[in-house]
């Protein structure tokens, strides 16, 4: 995925009240967190072995399915 893809998913996240953050080191390296801006908490991904981190494709799918 490119920087343009990352920006597109980040804009989608912001429209829904979330912020996309790059995961740091360890097994989540290269993945992303979705932060709930209002609560200041990470969202669960539902992905085995990556409970709170998403690939960009997973984040986009999760955000597309999310409704308040």
Tens of pLDDT, residue by residue over 6-60, are 999 999 999 999 999 999 777 778 899 999 999 999 999 988 888 999 999 999 9
| Report field, pTM of the whole predicted structure over 0.85 | yes
First-residue to last-residue Cα distance in the chain: 27
d(CA 56, CA 67) in angstroms, rounded, equals 19
Tally of structural domains, the chain:
1
> 14 near 6, Cβ under 8 Å?
no
Position 67 confidence tier, pLDDT thresholds 50, 70, 90? confident
Give yes or no for residue 1 having a pLDDT over 90: no
Domain coverage including residue 41:
3-65
Q: What is the pLDDT of residue 12?
A: 96
Residue 12, class by beta-carbon neighbours within 10 Å (0-12 exposed, 13-18 middle, 19+ buried)? Answer: middle
Q: What is the pLDDT of residue 59?
A: 96
**DSSP reduced 3-state for 41:** strand
């Amino acid at each position: 995925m490119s920087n343009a893809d990352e920006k597109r998913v980040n804009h989608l996240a912001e429209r829904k009240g979330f912020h996309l953050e790059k995961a740091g080191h360890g097994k989540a390296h290269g993945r992303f967190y979705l932060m709930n801006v209002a609560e200041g908490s990470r969202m669960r991904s539902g992905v085995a072995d990556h409970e709170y981190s998403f690939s960009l494709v997973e984040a986009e799918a999760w955000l597309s399915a999310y409704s308040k």
